[in-house]
């Protein structure tokens, strides 16, 4: 939890003791006891208490922002407020949703769509611009390998080629957000949920998120003989920004 100074900033001269209790005790000692109760859980409790009391003002917005920082996802917050609606009142829930929409407005697709975001794709980070996340859906070696790949806004992989003596290649099934796919020497294609891209072996290409959106797709490895991936040059900012501008 970041050091809180709101009490002293607003009430430091008018009510210094209250400011001290607010900054040092409530947001200092109490919130700092993460070993007793995780900050994420404290955020959920606090948001629930404020909504239940009908406090739909800057206090709630601040705690929604804290909840987001403490790991409460957009989907979890939507479920929390929906649940609260039946106990705290429908108007209170509507008020909370209006604030939550603002706080989480840049998070569309951040959770990786219906399959979840998985772990940061650190093993292949050198072949990406920006952060990507990987959640395997099947076990490699036992069946056709499928994984949910999520790109943060502007993230894209390098130009690459799926080589194979026979068969091989890849299929992309787009599930969330918006993104790009481009083959060497061809115009880029904007991708939306429901789009399916079939990538034959030996075709040089790249894919990733659009500038202002998270993007998820299922990557399906097409079985083949002697398959391997060759990583090539990066998609430069100049190339990428031109594509976004043309969109």
- Asked, for residue 108, whether it belongs to a domain, the answer is no
Q: Among the three residues 54, 83, 103, which one is the final residue of a domain in this structure? A: 103
- Asked, for residue 154, whether it belongs to a domain, the answer is yes
Predicted confidence at residue 91, as pLDDT, reads 96
Contact 68, 40 (CB under 8 A): no
CA distances from 137 to 74, 116, 120, 200, 221 (A): 22, 10, 15, 22, 12
57 and 146 part of one domain: no
Mapping DSSP to helix (H, G, I), strand (E, B) and coil, where does residue 230 land?
A: strand
137 and 209 part of one domain: yes
Predicted confidence at residue 130, as pLDDT, reads 95
203 and 228 part of one domain: yes
Residues 170-192 have pLDDT tens digits of: 999 999 888 999 999 999 999 99
* Sequence-ordered strand ranges (E) for 3-95: none
What percentage of the chain has pLDDT greater than the value 90? 69
Q: Is the pLDDT of residue 1 over 80?
A: no
Predicted confidence at residue 195, as pLDDT, reads 95
pTM: 0.59
Average pLDDT, the chain: 91
CATH number for position 238: 2.60.120.10
34 and 119 part of one domain: no
87 and 121 part of one domain: no
**Per-residue pLDDT band at 113 (split at 50, 70, 90):** confident
Distance CA 125, CA 123 (A): 6
Predicted confidence at residue 201, as pLDDT, reads 97
Predicted confidence at residue 247, as pLDDT, reads 43
Q: Is the pLDDT of residue 246 over 60?
A: no
Count up the domains in the chain and report the number: 2
Q: Among the three residues 103, 125, 146, which one is the final residue of a domain in this structure? A: 103
Residues 46-94 have pLDDT tens digits of: 999 999 999 999 999 999 999 988 878 777 899 999 999 999 999 999 9
- DSSP states of 174-228: EEEE-EEEEETTS--EEE-TT-EEEE-TT--EEEEE-TTS-EEEEEEEPPEES-E
Contact 156, 206 (CB under 8 A): yes
Predicted confidence at residue 204, as pLDDT, reads 98
161 and 239 part of one domain: yes
Predicted confidence at residue 141, as pLDDT, reads 82
- Asked, for residue 95, whether it belongs to a domain, the answer is yes
Q: Is the pLDDT of residue 244 over 90?
A: no
Distance CA 43, CA 155 (A): 30
Across the range 26-38, mean pLDDT stands at: 88
- Residue 129 domain boundaries: 113-246
3-state secondary structure 113-161: HHHCCCEECHHHHHHEECCEEEEECCCECCECCEEEEEECCCCEECCEE
Q: Among the three residues 74, 103, 132, which one is the final residue of a domain in this structure? A: 103
Across the range 161-178, mean pLDDT stands at: 95
120 and 55 part of one domain: no
Across the range 202-213, mean pLDDT stands at: 93
Residues 133-152 have pLDDT tens digits of: 999 999 988 899 999 999 99
Ranges 7-11, 85-89, 163-167: which has the least confidence: 7-11
């Amino acid at each position: 939890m970041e050091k809180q100074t709101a009490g002293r900033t607003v009430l430091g001269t008018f009510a210094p003791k209250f400011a001290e209790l607010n900054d040092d005790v409530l947001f200092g000692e109490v919130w700092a006891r993460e070993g007793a109760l995780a900050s994420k859980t404290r955020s959920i409790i606090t948001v629930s208490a404020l909504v239940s009391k009908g406090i739909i003002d800057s206090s709630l917005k601040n705690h929604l922002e804290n909840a987001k920082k403490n790991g409460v996802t957009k989907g979890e917050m939507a479920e929390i407020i929906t649940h609260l609606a039946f106990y705290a009142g429908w108007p209170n829930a509507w008020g909370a949703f209006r604030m939550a929409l603002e706080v989480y407005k840049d998070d569309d697709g951040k959770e990786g769509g219906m399959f979840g975001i998985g772990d940061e794709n650190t093993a292949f980070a050198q072949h990406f611009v920006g952060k990507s996340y990987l959640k395997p859906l099947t076990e490699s070696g036992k069946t056709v390998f499928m994984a949910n790949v999520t790109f943060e806004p502007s993230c894209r992989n390098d130009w690459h080629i799926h080589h194979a003596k026979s068969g091989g290649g890849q299929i992309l099934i787009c599930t969330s957000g918006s993104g790009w796919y481009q083959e060497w020497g061809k115009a880029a294609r904007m991708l939306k949920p429901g789009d399916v891209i079939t990538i034959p072996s030996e075709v040089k290409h790249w894919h990733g998120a659009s500038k202002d959106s998270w993007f998820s797709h299922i990557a399906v490895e097409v079985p083949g003989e002697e398959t391997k991936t060759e990583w090539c040059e990066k998609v430069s900012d100049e190339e990428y920004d031109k594509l976004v501008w043309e969109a």
